[in-house]
Amino acid sequence: MALIIVLMLFAILSTLAMEILFRQNRFLNRADNLLQWDKRYQYAMAAEVVAQQGLIDDLQDDIKNNAQLDDCVEEKWAVQLPPTPYEDAFLSASVQDLQGRFNLNWLIADSPDGFVRQQDRVRELEQLLDEILPDQSNPGRLANEMADWLDSNNIVDEAEGAEDPEYRDRRTPNMPATHESELRALLGFQATDMPEDPMAWGLLTALPPGTSLNVNTAPQQVLNAVVGSLAGPEGVKAIIDSRKEEPISDIGSLLAMPVFSEMDEEDRDLLNARLGVSSEYFQVMVDVEVDGQLSRLVTRLFRGGGEGEPTAVVSRQVSPLLTPLEPACNPFYNEE
């Protein structure tokens, strides 16, 4: 009997010892993972600070030279950092100009009655989605649903749209979007609507509704939707050809070109209000690898356009590395 008790105690103590060792090992692994994650995050934050300072220095140089413009060729920030060793890590980074992308919040305008849809902008988004989404997608429906998602009323303004009653378990924000990924929250967006090239998401953004489009950094697909809707393909070609020679420094000079000067005055004034040559909103993407573990930090910055205005972080998120690092300036810019 005594032998049985001793064996039972030995078995219990062995089980307890194994459990203690298992939990201790799991705790150590968890602590190591957290430390490694924090190390990658701190490296990424350091790279973000360097990129942010580069944008500030670029602005100060522009102010000093009295030439405030941003482009994809001559700007110091428009250079991609390849994987570079730093201590025990590898860092790669790039900076994108968010004002060279199609702003989803252009679909609405602020008014005394709230945010109202701009139907001509809805057609522009439809044209862009038709170019980047798979053939089986319905860009017209998605563009109208996006406008319903943003505008203040609860009325489906077009045949293809969706408002609060269609979403049931969640409410439409009825205000400007904060990120282009809200497009995927629409009622009509299906998994089959995902662009075949994930870089196509880099053609969209969500900025304040009145933000201008930088003609020096916009890819051709965005110019086709915004400029082509008013000036046709000839207007898009004129912009691309002009900026290849040198960055466009003044929208007034651009609109004085024959292809634009022959337009209706109302359309020309509309382009003059919507287009620009400099930018205030940028995105910094940093990939960090330490001991085979990867992290990506995506930070969106507002860089004030005047001397003394602060540069502020709009958003910051750590995301999984599901796609390659976006190229400097903007995706598809060099495919013209």
Contacts of 334 (CB under 8 A, 6+ apart): 72, 327
**DSSP designation for 157:** -
**DSSP designation for 263:** S
The model's pLDDT over 202-216, given as tens digits with 9 standing for 90+, comes to: 999 999 999 999 999
Paired with 313 in beta bridges are: 301
The model's pLDDT over 14-44, given as tens digits with 9 standing for 90+, comes to: 888 888 888 888 888 888 888 888 999 999 9
Predicted pLDDT at 39: 92
Whether pLDDT at 335 is above 70: no
Report yes or no: 284 and 51 within 8 Å, Cβ to Cβ: yes
Token pair recorded at residue 16: 């307890």
9-99+280-335 CATH fold: Pantoate--beta-alanine Ligase; Chain: A,domain 2 (3.30.1300)
CA dihedral 78, 84, 86, 87 (to 10 degrees): 170
Please return the burial class of 36, using the count of CB atoms within 10 Å of its CB with bins 0-12, 13-18 and 19+. Answer: middle
**CATH class held by domain 101-276:** mainly alpha
The model's pLDDT over 47-84, given as tens digits with 9 standing for 90+, comes to: 999 999 999 888 888 888 877 778 887 788 888 889 99
Whether pLDDT at 5 is above 90: no
For the four alpha carbons of 123, 216, 283 and 201, in that order, the dihedral sign comes to positive
- How do the domains of the chain map onto residue ranges? 9-99+280-335, 101-276
Same topology, domains 9-99+280-335 and 101-276? Answer is no
Give kind and range of the element (H or E) at residue 94: strand 89-97
pTM of the model: 0.88
* Alpha-carbon separation of residue 211 from 120, 144, 181, 205, 274 (angstroms): 17, 21, 19, 11, 8
